[in-house]
Structures are given as structure tokens and as C-alpha cells.
Structure 1
Amino acid sequence: MKAAPFAYCRPDSVDEAVDVLAAGDAKVLAGGQSLVPVLAMRLGRPGTLVDITRLPGLDSLVLEDGQLHIGAAVRQRRVERSTEVAAVPLVGRAMPFVGHRELRSRGTVCGSLAHADPAAELPAVAACLGATVVVRGPRGERTVAARELVTGAMTTSVGPDELVTGVRFPVAAPGAGFGFAEIARRHGDFALAGVAVRVRGDEAVLAAFGVSDRPVVRELTVDDPAEAALRPVTDALAREVVDTDGDAHGSRGYRARLLGVLAAREIARAHREAHA
């Protein structure tokens, strides 16, 4: 199929882009790796596409004030290959799992956050790290905590007249350890289950994805960091948070099993890293 007819707009400023969005029936085009297939299958029929790829300031990738600032036009591949991403190890570890290399060369970090696919890696990483999403709208600029960004499958708290302009990831604190893993039928496919983990001291933050309609974040106290000792805890957590229906790729019980194993393994790994 082909996309339904639409108008194309390339604004010269963020304010102009917001004005077009506020007029209604418009969608933002950044990387297009999620939007274009939706248009091609006619699952979405916006009247106007607002191309933000050349807007001034949205291509910034800088370390500043203890945060990694990533603009809305920054490609995933650029982040993956940057020196700056070393300051936020969990982002660097997750990036190779985001789709395929060809998709990452066009897809954007903020686009993945705004698309809010339940199986996407970056929304879970952002939620695990306590990242902040910057949004501009007719009423000015505001920030949204990454844990509050996704409200359901493919749904966020960003209004139809608002534009995500960037995301801020806090740099890794001294003594922190990280873990990331997912299971997919093939590398680059949608994750059947995945975890992003941050550990500091005996406290762990875990964000699960691919098992619900949004990233599920839980905070745990690690009494015994051995993987075998963690399994009863993570198995119970998995049974609690996995609420997706089964499909041809795996039942609900299978996903819970995967999540329990991955969570225990990555918490143990992150703990070892934190205490190395």
C-alpha cells in the first residue's frame, strides 16, 4: 500500500513547528522509521507531516551539568558511535539492540521515546535512569519524567500540539553498575522480554519491556547479589508485571519465565560491576 495524500511542511523554527501542530491533523517527522510504515499501511492518515530534521538546535549531543543532552533530530547511530555516550553506559549498551544498523542510521532517540512501542528499548532505559524529556507546545516548554511519559501502547503524555525537543539522561554516578538484556527471535526483532538495570550499593532499579503496554519500573533491595539467590525475587516480580496476552511468539507464562531469568542475571551482573 501507499500512504494517503498529505501536505509536507519543513518549518524554520521550533515555534513554527509548534504552530503547525497546534493547527491540528499533523504529525512530526524526524527519523521516519516508525512513522513511514504506519503511513504506508494507512494505519495513520495525518493531513500534514512536519519535518523537524533541520531545525536549529535539535541536532545537539552534549554533556552538560551532569547530563547527556540529546536533541530530537539526533540519530541513534550517532549516539551509538559517540564518545559522549560513555558517560551513560546503559544507553550505549542498549543502542545496538534498537532495530537494525540501517534503521539506527535514520531513526532518532527522541522518536523512539515519542513512538512508545511497548517492546522498545529506549523508553525502558530512559525510565530506568530517571531521564527527563523536554517538550515544547503553545503554552511554552515543559519537562516530563521518562517514567511518566508513556501512558499506554503507542501513547504518551505529549499532546498533539506539542513537540518533543530533546531528552536528558543523567550521567552515571560513581559506584553504579548497569545491565541490559533482551530476548528476541532474531537480533533486531521486537523483544519478547527485556530488562534495563541500574545498581548502586544494595539498591537496584529495574525497567522491564516487551511484557506490558509500557515500561514497568521496580526498585529492589539486593540482599544477596548471587543470581541463584535473586531468582525467587525476580520470578515473583515477573509474575506480577507481565500482563501482556500471549501470541504466536510466546505465551504470557513464557515471557514471565524469560523476564525472571534476565532480571536475575542482569542485576547480578550490574552488582558485580558496581562493586568491581
Structure 2
Amino acid sequence: MIPAQFDYVRPESLSEACQALGSDEDAKVLAGGQSLLPLLRLRLAYPSKLVDVGRLPELKGVHDRGDHVFIGALTTHDEVLRSGVVTADCPLVAIATATVADPAIRHRGTFGGSLAHADPAGDLPAVVLALDGVFVARSEQGEREIPAADFFVDYWESSLRQGEILVGVKIPKLGPGWGFHYEKFHRTAQAWAIVGVAAAVKRSNGSIAEARIGLTNMASTPLRARAAEAALQGSELGDQVRQACEEAAADTSPAADLHAQPDYRRHLARVLTHRAVRTAAGSP
């Protein structure tokens, strides 16, 4: 299909991009385009203006900043995967990014674009939520930091305000003793996750000292499986972990669609959480 008519601007600086975006409440940011362009073709989105930020160097790159890693919003998934800093200090990001779509999309799609799109079926939102990431947004009024817990509002809706552009994301370094895994169930390599689980587990003296679990596609936003996290604390690997992971679907509200009913998604959440936690904890 042919998209509806819109204006197109390509700013030369981040400040110019903020100005262009803030002057029109129906404007949209165009980065890699892997999420937005299909919506335009299907006429599921009707922006009056596209602000193309694809050539702004301020939004690109992976930077080691001591206690955290800063990933620029315009950094492609492929660049994230090839970053030694991400692999060393944010391995869960690398593990999950490797499961995003296929190589062609990973070479065009951007880290920030997939997060700002705020699709609850996307892989990366649950990962950033589990890691307590912080989103950095810029507007004509200045810079604002948004904790991941406050960033996702509803289906395809974030807390970015009119005129704000996502500059990048701060991912805290968790340090030694942690293990990570991302487990998801999907129909094909290119398909969205029916359910996904991001797990970060810290072991101590043969038991789990702390667990962080992010859930993909179990509500209108990514969720932390708080009940399972609490149940896992102090659990020894084995039956205790299995029983704790039965709490993974608590307080979730998965949707019913052509791919799965809510009860099936809850079942998947429990099974995939057990798999992800066991792998992250280094248990066979």
C-alpha cells in the first residue's frame, strides 16, 4: 500500500531535530525505519511530518562511562552485537539483540528505535527493564532522564513528550557474580515473540542471591516478574527454583490474539522463566 501524505525533513543537528519535532504534535521520528515504515505502508500510522535523524552523529555509538554503558539511540542492532563493551559489561543486551528479527533487519534497525516504538512484543524493552536502564531524552527545554520502569506506558506508547527525542540508554554494569539469559518462544526467526523472558541471576554459595526477570508480551507493556524474583531469592538450584518460577505469570495480563490465548502465554511465561533462570545461573 501507499502511505498517506506527509512532510519530510532531515535536520543537520540534534537541536534542529528537536525543533522540527516540537513544532508539530503529529510528527514522528524516523531512524532505521524497520518498525515505522510497515505501519506507514499499512496506513496504521498517519504522521504529518517525518523527522529523519538517521545522519546525526550525536545519537550513535556505544560508550563505556564507568558504572554504566551508554548506547546511543541510533546505534544499529548489528553494531550493538559487535561491541566488545556491550558483550563484556552488558551481556544480556547482546544475548537478546542476537534474537531480534534477522540479520538484514539488525543491520538497519536501531537500538533506540526499537525501544521508543514501545511494542510489548519487542525483545529489548524487557531487557532494559530487567537491568534498571535509564532513558535519556532531549528537547528544546534540555535533557531528561527517565527510569525504564516509567518509560513504557501502553501499547506502542512511551513517556516521551512532544518534541523529545530519545538520545540513548544508560545500562548499569552489574559486576561479577551475575549470569544472564534471554529465552523466547516465537513461530519464525522474523516473528515477534509470543512470550519472552530476560533473566539476570546472581549466585552466592550455591543458591540464588538475587534475580531480575523481565517479561516480553505479557501485558500492554514489558513487566518485571516481581513475585518470581522474590521467590527465587535464596533458592537452591533444583526444585526450589522450579517452584519459584511458577510465580512468573503472577500479576500479568497477556492479550488474546491469533497466536496465543492468555492461559497459554501464562504457561509459556512459567516454562521460559525456569529455562532462562537455570541457564543464567549456570545450571544444566
TM-score normalised per structure 1 = 0.94
Q: Is 1:119 the counterpart of 2:124 in the alignment? A: no
Q: Which runs of 5+ in 2 are unaligned?
A: 204-208
Determine the structure 1 residue equivalent to 2:100. 98
Q: Which runs of 5+ in 1 are unaligned?
A: none
User: Which residue identity does 1:205 align to in structure 2?
Assistant: R
Moved more, 96-105 or 63-72: 63-72
Verify the 8 A CA contact 1:216 1:241 in the aligned structure 2. Answer: no
Local SS of the residue matching 2:168: strand
User: Which residue identity does 2:239 align to in structure 1?
Assistant: A
User: Which residue identity does 1:203 align to in structure 2?
Assistant: E
Residue 215 of structure 1: CA displacement?
A: 0.9
Which deviations, in whole Å up to 9, do the C-alpha atoms of 1:196-251 show, x marking residues without a partner?
Answer: 0111241101111111111111232433343432233222331x233123222121
CA RMSD of the aligned region, Å?
Answer: 1.5
Determine the structure 2 residue equivalent to 1:228. 239
**d(CA) in 1 for partners of 2:20, 2:244:** 49
Matched residue pairs, number? 272
**d(CA) in 2 for partners of 1:42, 1:171:** 41
**d(CA) in 1 for partners of 2:281, 2:143:** 38
**d(CA) in 2 for partners of 1:242, 1:124:** 14
Residue 89 of structure 1: CA displacement?
A: 0.6
Residue 54 of structure 1: CA displacement?
A: 1.1
Residue 135 of structure 1: CA displacement?
A: 0.2
User: Which residue identity does 1:55 align to in structure 2?
Assistant: L
Determine the structure 1 residue equivalent to 2:264. 254
Question: After TM superposition, where is structure 1 displaced by more than 4 Å over at least 4 residues in a row?
Answer: none
**d(CA) in 2 for partners of 1:257, 1:99:** 24
Q: Aligned ranges for residues 1-276 of structure 1 at < 5 Å?
A: 1-24=1-24, 25-86=26-87, 87-201=89-203, 202-217=209-224, 218=226, 219-220=229-230, 221-238=232-249, 240-272=250-282
**d(CA) in 2 for partners of 1:261, 1:225:** 18
Verify the 8 A CA contact 1:209 1:215 in the aligned structure 2. Answer: yes
Verify the 8 A CA contact 1:75 1:109 in the aligned structure 2. Answer: yes
User: Which residue identity does 2:240 align to in structure 1?
Assistant: A
User: Which residue identity does 1:43 align to in structure 2?
Assistant: L
Moved more, 217-226 or 22-31: 217-226
User: Which residue identity does 2:263 align to in structure 1?
Assistant: G
Which deviations, in whole Å up to 9, do the C-alpha atoms of 1:36-74 show, x marking residues without a partner?
Answer: 011111111111111111113211222122222111211
Local SS of the residue matching 2:136: strand
Verify the 8 A CA contact 2:59 2:167 in the aligned structure 1. Answer: yes
Verify the 8 A CA contact 2:132 2:147 in the aligned structure 1. Answer: yes
**d(CA) in 2 for partners of 1:188, 1:204:** 29
**d(CA) in 2 for partners of 1:74, 1:115:** 15
Seen in structure 2, the aligned counterparts of structure 1 residues 262 and 51 have a Cα distance that, compared at 3 Å, is same
**d(CA) in 1 for partners of 2:267, 2:165:** 38
User: Which residue identity does 2:22 align to in structure 1?
Assistant: A
**d(CA) in 2 for partners of 1:150, 1:88:** 21
Verify the 8 A CA contact 1:72 1:166 in the aligned structure 2. Answer: yes
Moved more, 50-59 or 127-136: 50-59
